[in-house]
Amino acid sequence: MKIEVKDVTKKLDKELVLNDVSLSLDSGKIYGLVGRNGSGKSMLLKTICGFVKPDKGYVKVGGEDIYKNNTFPKKTAALIERPNYLPDLTGYENLKMLASINEVIGDKEILNTLEKVNLLEEKDKKFKKYSLGMKQKLGIAQVLMENPDIMIFDEPFNGLEEESVKKIRKLLLDEKKKGKLIIIATHIKEDINELCDIIYRVDNGKIINK
């Protein structure tokens, strides 16, 4: 799987939030996006996911221009900004409901994924009672559970305890070995040093080094 971002530019309320961004990303690698808050990292991720149509340029995923064809990229899952789910459902029930959309996994895969992210013991707790770290784990589980080819994470380790951080970092490295394309926006140096094969710095909507 390959992602091609070419000359992507986007304005919001007359403010330039993405400025002529071009990237080429390949399977089997973990890419890091680093930069201060408001630099354009999250907006770039949303554009790659098909959520924000660029004013100029294109995004191709697996050779398909997702905005030309008005499609979401196939076999792609993302956790962008703060995860949010139905508050009166349990963590497990939220994932079960989302899994029913594509119907490619069942209870076994959901439970296995919750165990992988250290959330199995809290699976029957309502989402509204989850801590910040538990919410993050649920978001990571959602990305992982259907075994997508492309995984996108925006500050995935916010609020996580050290044990879970280490476990999920290893999990992502294992996914890379399986040939997955992974993108992580982060400001944590350890994430960059331990996970990322290639790092892009984002500033004022531009990629300032490649």
The whole-number pLDDT of residue 39 equals 86
Lowest mean pLDDT among 57-66, 130-139, 156-165: 156-165
| Rounded-to-integer distance, Cα 79 and Cα 157, Å | 11
Two tokens, residue 78: 């993302």
Mean pLDDT calculated for residue range 142-171:
93
Angstrom CA distances, 78 to 62, 88, 148, 182, stand at 16, 23, 10, 10
Residue type for 194, please?
E
Cβ pair 196, 31 in contact under 8 A: yes
Containing 175, the helix (H) or strand (E) segment is helix 162-177
Lowest mean pLDDT among 88-97, 125-134, 138-147, 154-163: 154-163
The whole-number pLDDT of residue 81 equals 81
The whole-number pLDDT of residue 210 equals 54
Distance of CA 133 to the CA centre of its chain: 16
**Alpha helices, H only, the chain:** 41-49, 91-102, 107-116, 132-145, 162-177, 189-195
The whole-number pLDDT of residue 189 equals 79
Residue type for 82, please?
R
Angstrom CA distances, 146 to 15, 46, 71, stand at 36, 20, 19
Angstrom CA distances, 157 to 21, 134, 184, 192, stand at 26, 10, 10, 12
